[in-house]
Amino acid sequence: MQVVCKCEQVEMKRDMDLIRTLLIQMDEEPRLDGTQWLEINHHDFPGHSLQEVAYHVGLLVEVGYVRGSIGGGMPMISKLTWEGHEFVDDIKDSGIWANTKARVEGLSGVALSVVAEIAKAEIKKRLGLL
């Protein structure tokens, strides 16, 4: 017996703006306190499919920014980790985010850890520490 899946295959690439939006929404969600498991509502992210949102939530779980369970459709999440809170605090300010994005513009790809370092540098620059 052969099982054929007619699933839509979508090439997934990291979308740093979606990652930022997801983290900000998670940070503002009071139910994400680690006492329950929640599923992100992909309808809260216009212009992004269920697959895109699920993929990016899964990436945030994998990188350790979110405590969650990957499997099936949308990953279930329970809270931001310390690292997740640190990162979202660094990228929440729209000016810092705009400057961070401008600094990586034109590059074919940038690791999330580099984006985090650039955001920290932008904050230090704004505070006059650089």
- Asked if residue 5 has pLDDT above 60, the reply is no
pLDDT band at 11 (very low <50, low <70, confident <90, very high): low
- Residue 125: CB atoms within 10 A of its CB come to 12
Q: Please report whether residue 7 resides in a domain.
A: no
Count of the separate structural domains present in the chain: 1
pLDDT tens string 81-106: 999 999 999 999 999 999 999 999 98
Q: What is the pLDDT of residue 3?
A: 39
Q: Please report whether residue 5 resides in a domain.
A: no
Q: C-alpha angle with apex 106: 101 to 112, nearest 5 degrees?
A: 50
Domain that holds residue 68: 16-126
Q: Please report whether residue 6 resides in a domain.
A: no
CATH number of domain containing 111: 1.10.10
Q: Please report whether residue 97 resides in a domain.
A: yes
The percentage of residues in the chain with a pLDDT greater than 90, rounded to a whole number, is: 74
Q: Please report whether residue 3 resides in a domain.
A: no
Q: Please report whether residue 94 resides in a domain.
A: yes
Cβ-based neighbours of 51, under 8 Å, separated by 6 or more: 8, 10, 12
Mean pLDDT of 17-46: 94
Nearest to 89 by CA among 125, 52, 122: 122
